[in-house]
Structures are given as C-alpha cells and as structure tokens.
Amino acid sequence: MVEDTLIFIPLGIPVWPLLVIRLISAILLTAAISYIWRKRELAAVRKGSHMNESTINTVLFDLDGTLINTNELIIASFQHTLDHYYPGQYSREDILHFIGPSVLV
C-alpha cells in the first residue's frame, strides 16, 4: 500500500496525508466488518443458534483492490493530490505513468 504513495516524495509532496487516509480507510473497514459480524452473531443467538467455526468458514479482506476494483479511487486520489500541489500540470495519462501498470490491468 505504501509503495504507490512513495512516488510523491521526489515531487516534494507530503505523503503523510495519503497514508493517514489509507489508515483511516483500514480502520473503517475493520469497524464495518466487526459491526456486521456482531450483528450476524446476535441474529444467530436470537434464532437459538450460535455462530461458531462451522457457521462461518471464510472471511475475506480486500485491502489492495484484488476483489473490488479500486483503480478509479486510486487515480482520483493521485489526481486530487497533484491538482492541490501542481494545479493543471498533470493529466490522467501522466498519473497512470506515476502509478504504473498494476492499475492499468
């Protein structure tokens, strides 16, 4: 997650805001999953059953865009940051070169 943010360092753009945004996103995702998990567990208790290893056998976390396509969000965050520090200097094509081929796939 950090490596695509490090491209901003040679440009003199502070990377801590992007890292904070990513940390907050991870915290919110964890909180949402915890809330949903607890809600399902309470519903199971009301029905007279309990969630255990046999009730749920898989939990998926998608923090790198493998399951959900987050390419446009990544591109938009780069565009927003570059527009803030260098208004109008970088096009979408320039940003795609910064990010690299993994987002283009």
Dump pLDDT digits (tens) for 38-56.
Answer: 888 788 778 776 656 566 6
Half-sphere exposure at residue 34, Cβ-oriented, CA atoms within 13 angstroms: 6
Which is the catalytic residue, given 62, 64, 83, 94?
62
pTM for the structure as a whole: 0.41
C-beta separation of 44 from 51 below 8 A: yes
- Note if 62 is an active site residue: yes
* C-alpha span between 77 and 82 (Å, rounded): 9
For the stretch 54-84, pLDDT in tens is: 666 667 666 666 667 777 888 888 888 888 8
Q: Which residues of 37-54 are buried (b: 16+ CB within 10 A; e: fewer)?
A: eeeeeeeeeeeeeeeeee
| 89 — pLDDT class (breaks 50, 70, 90) | very high
Burial 19-34 (b: 16+ CB within 10 A, else e): eeeeeeeeeeeeeeee
Q: Is residue 81 packed enough to be buried (19+ CB in 10 Å), middle (13-18) or exposed (0-12)?
A: buried
